[in-house]
């Protein structure tokens, strides 16, 4: 079998969860993605909402079995030597569809070939194959080193919530737990033991938290040796705050994200994507009585590059914010009155690239 060598790597990835405008929700999943020739394999499969079997929320024993299978130290789960590379993020049922491929050894090399979309026990390559994807030949030492270095997988994500409005924090914590993100509420992080602080990937502050209190909390995290992202809540709107926290927990490099830019001013929003993907944009605003108003302002597939989308002035009247989502990420921005803004999740601290 002949195929040019491809580089193989692994990288943390996120399937962003969220509280949706229609009242539904999608589950947050942290997983390890496959990186082929420096680019996430998932990006090469069009706009696919899926996660790899190497997810943080599966038991360690099952995670280890998934790694062993990819190393061909366990039997393939499907006939004809086929392995699941990406599956449904909500239920992982093959009936929902999965990307599968044959994985085999050729001397010391590992080869991935015959990629297909599969919904039952057998794949139909002629009907459901991925033309132009693979075969990929990976050097054995590089391939094995990447997989054996995984340990028990990516860390589980938790967030610490601090603020004066207990009712808002309680609703936010419930929403986060619903989509699979652990959340705890405290009024004084300085009293939390260092070993507990190390379990948080982010700390979120309500708008009423003062600078001195905020600085003291961040100092407690620093003294505990924790690189937690700090999220400054934009407004007491639960879906908006969930989106900010989702953005903060995505620690993957910018080059490996689909949604890379979001800026809004006046009656237009600029969206930047690195790969073809479906983008949904939701506007949230507070009216004069501080009631939340929600409106879907865009839902469509965008090609790589920067795009400008017109906004209905009524959707962004007054204090307004936009949340843009793709299958793998989320960005948040405030709507500036008349000048350009930067895409932001109000995130500081931690390492971002």
What is the side-by-side strand order in the sheet with 305-310? 259-265, 268-273, 305-310
**Any idea which residue has 């990288």 for tokens?**
11
- Tens digit of each residue's pLDDT, the chain (353 residues): 556 899 999 988 888 888 777 777 888 888 889 999 988 898 888 778 899 999 887 877 888 899 999 999 988 989 989 999 999 988 878 888 999 999 999 999 999 999 999 998 888 888 999 988 989 999 999 999 999 988 655 556 789 999 888 899 999 999 998 888 889 998 777 778 888 888 888 999 998 899 999 998 999 898 888 888 999 999 999 999 999 998 988 877 777 788 999 999 888 999 999 888 889 999 999 988 888 999 999 999 999 999 999 999 999 998 999 999 987 789 999 997 654 444 443 333 333 33
**115: which 2 tokens?**
């990629």
Q: Which residue has the tokens 């599968």?
A: 100
Secondary structure of the chain in HEC code, one letter for each residue: CCCCECCEEEEEEEECCEECCCCCEECCEEEEEEEECCEEHHHHHCCCCCECCCECCCCHHHHHHHHHHHCCCCCCCEHHHEEEEEECCCCCCHHHCEEEEEEEEECCEEEEEEEEEECCCCCCHHHHECCCCCCEEECHHHHHHHHHCCCCCCCCCEEEEECCCHHHHHHHHHHHHHCCCEEEECCCHHHCCHHHHCCCCEEEECCCCCHHHHHHHHHHHHHCCCCCEEEECCCCCHHHHHHHHHHHHCCCCHHHCCEEEEEEECCEEEEEECCCEEEEEEEEEECCCCCEEEEEEEEEEECCEEEEEECCHHHHCCEEEEEEECCCCEEEEECECCCCCCCECCEECCCCC
Q: Which pLDDT score, from 0 to 100, does residue 268 have?
A: 93
Q: What is the pTM of this model?
A: 0.72
Q: How many CB atoms lie within 10 A of CB 322?
A: 29
From residue 121, how far is each of 82, 126, 261 by CA, in Å? Answer: 10, 16, 40
Name the strands in the sheet holding 347-348, side by side, starting at the edge strand that comes first in the sequence: 182-185, 158-162, 202-205, 229-232, 347-348
């Amino acid at each position: 079998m002949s195929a040019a060598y491809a580089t193989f790597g692994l990288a943390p990835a996120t399937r962003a969860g969220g509280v949706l405008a229609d009242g539904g929700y999608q589950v947050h999943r942290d997983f390890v993605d496959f990186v082929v020739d420096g680019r996430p394999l998932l990006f090469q499969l069009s706009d696919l909402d899926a996660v790899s079997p190497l997810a943080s929320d599966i038991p360690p024993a099952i995670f280890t079995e998934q790694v062993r299978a990819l190393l061909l130290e366990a039997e393939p789960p499907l006939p004809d030597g086929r392995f699941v590379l990406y599956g449904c993020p909500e239920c992982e049922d093959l009936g929902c569809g999965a990307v599968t491929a044959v994985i085999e050894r050729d001397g010391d090399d590992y080869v991935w070939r015959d990629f297909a979309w599969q919904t039952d026990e057998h794949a139909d390559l002629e009907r459901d194959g991925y033309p132009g994807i693979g075969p990929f030949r990976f050097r054995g030492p590089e391939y094995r080193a990447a997989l054996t270095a995984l340990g028990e997988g990516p860390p589980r994500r938790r967030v610490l919530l601090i603020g004066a409005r207990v009712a808002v924090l309680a609703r936010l914590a419930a929403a986060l737990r619903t989509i699979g993100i652990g959340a705890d509420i405290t009024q004084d992080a300085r009293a939390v033991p260092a070993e507990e602080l190390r379990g948080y990937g982010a700390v979120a502050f309500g708008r009423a938290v003062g600078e001195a209190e905020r600085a003291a909390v961040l100092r407690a995290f620093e003294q505990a040796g924790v690189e937690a992202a700090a999220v400054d809540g934009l407004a007491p709107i639960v879906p908006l705050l969930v989106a900010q926290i989702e953005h903060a927990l995505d620690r993957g490099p910018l080059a490996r994200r689909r949604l890379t830019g979001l800026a809004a001013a006046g009656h237009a929003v600029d969206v930047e994507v690195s790969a073809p993907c479906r983008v949904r944009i939701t506007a949230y605003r507070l009216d004069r009585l501080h009631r939340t108003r929600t409106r879907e302002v865009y839902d469509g597939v965008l090609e790589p590059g920067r795009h400008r989308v017109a906004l209905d002035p009524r959707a962004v009247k007054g204090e307004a914010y936009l949340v843009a989502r793709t299958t793998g990420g989320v960005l948040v921005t405030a709507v500036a009155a008349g000048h350009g803004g930067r895409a932001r999740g109000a995130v500081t601290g931690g390492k971002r690239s």
